[in-house]
Every structure is written in structure tokens, then in C-alpha cells.
Amino acid sequence: MKKIAIALLPFQIILSCNGQDAKNTYTQKLEFGLKGPIKEVTSYLCRSKDGNTQIDTTKSIAKIVMKFDTLGDVTTIDKKWDFGESGNSKYLSVFSGKGKNLSFKETSRIGEGEIHETNYKYVWSDDYNYKIIAPEDDEYITDVTLDENYRLIKSTFKIDNRTQSIEEFDIKIENDKIKEVKTKVTANNGGKQEVTEQIQVVQEYDHHGNPTVLYVYNDLNEQIKHVLYKRYKYY
């Protein structure tokens, strides 16, 4: 199934508190909740075996590199997933435009399959809601909802105007920094609705208050399923 592949992955979104008010001009830096003069963010998602939290990032199952300009707009997103015997996938998105006037070209390849290129653009309906559409193929649409600080709270993926999946985010803030993010995904699987939940708990921050280590659970009463490491570069 083709899907609009954008930066709305649960483990890379809303991972710090920006403390901005709604009067600020929108940039993607605010949507991702990043603090400081961000230049680059690299995220490594690693499986945890038997609750182990000391994991080599070279063994990550996913690596995502996001680059920003000095205004806080994304310039590129490079995503690589490695599922071992199940195969791998690569996505490179190159952005153009500023603020809310955004578009990007995505180059994708799943496993050893063909390389695909697709153009997308943002279409805003109001200050806090927009769609990501492919002008050459309007069958696939992602509806995005932001809170009053421009942080992502909901993403809905549709095919032919029929909802396929909904991602919802609930954020717990302590001392002006995000401590915990709960993600709920409701998916339509062959006409049957499936709900999965995930909890990310921040363990460490850098000097700007951006998270550097997060533990990922399906339930806080269970063992850690994944560890997320994040590395930052600043202007």
C-alpha cells in the first residue's frame, strides 16, 4: 500500500517543549518541539533485549537525520529502516519554501524495489490544520492538527477520503520540558480496527533541554521495548 511518507513518526515527534505562544510564526522547528538554534537532529531507534538500555547505535533499526536552516525550516529528512530479514527501506525528502508555504520531493525505495519520486505540498485550512497532498495523485492525503504552540497532536492518513490510520499524541510536561509522550494509533486493517499504544519517557536532556535518551514502552508495567537516542548539532 502506498502511503505518504512524511516526518510523522511517533518516535521523532514532539520530543521537547518549545515554550512558544501562538503568536509566533510557524516553522517546522516548532512542530517538532525543538529548542535552540537547531541545525541537525539524528535519531537512532534501537531494540531493547530483556529490558537492556545500553545499546550500540550502530545496531539501530532506524536512523533519521533532519536538517534545518537558520529560520527553523526543514531542508532535508533522510530516513533509513533496517528490519533484518524483513528487508529495509529508505526515504529522502528535500524541502523547499518557507514557513507555511512548503513543498517537498520524496525519493523512496523499499528493499531492492524500484526507486520512486513523488512531489508533495502543504495546504493549510486554518492556523493549526493542514493537509499534505501529492498534486499528481490526490488519492492519498494526510490531515495534520497542531496545538496552539504549533506542536503536532494528531495525524490522519486517508485513501480516497477513507481513513486508514489515526495517530494521536498526549504530552506530559515537567519544568517546561516534555517528560512523557503517549502515542495512540488507530488503524484500519482489512476493515477491522486495531488500536496500539506506545509510551516514550525521556531520561536525559542536552544543554538546550532537548531529549537525548528516551525509553519506549508499550505499557509502563512492561519491559522497555526500544531505546531512542537523539544527537543534535546547533548553529
| Helix intervals (H) in the chain | 28-31
User: What average pLDDT does the segment 86-113 reach?
Assistant: 92
pLDDT at residue 207 greater than cutoff 90 = yes
Q: Would you place residue 17 in the very low, low, confident or very high pLDDT band (cuts 50, 70, 90)?
A: very low
DSSP string, 159-201: ETTEEEEEEEEEEEEETTEEEEEEEEEEEEETTEEEEEEEEEE
Q: How confident is the model at residue 137 (pLDDT cuts 50, 70, 90)?
A: confident
62-66, 147-151, 185-189, range with greatest mean pLDDT: 62-66
Lowest mean pLDDT among 24-28, 101-105, 228-232: 24-28
pTM: 0.86
Three-state DSSP class for 155?
strand
State the DSSP code for 18.
-
CB atoms within 10 A of CB 64: 21
pLDDT range class, residue 38, cuts 50, 70, 90: very high
Report the distance separating Cα 160 and Cα 53, nearest Å: 42
Query: Grid coordinates in use for 7?
Result: 516526518
Rounded Cα distance, 138 and 118, in Å: 12
Residues 44, 21: Cα–Cα separation, whole Å:
30
Domain map (residue ranges) of the chain: 10-234
Tell me which of 46-50, 123-127, 142-146 is least confident: 46-50
- Name the residue among 202, 198, 195, 230 with its Cα closest to residue 217: 198
Question: Per-residue confidence at 86, pLDDT binned at 50, 70, 90?
Answer: low
pLDDT at 144 over 90: yes
* Distance, CA of 15 to CA of 230 (rounded, Å): 10
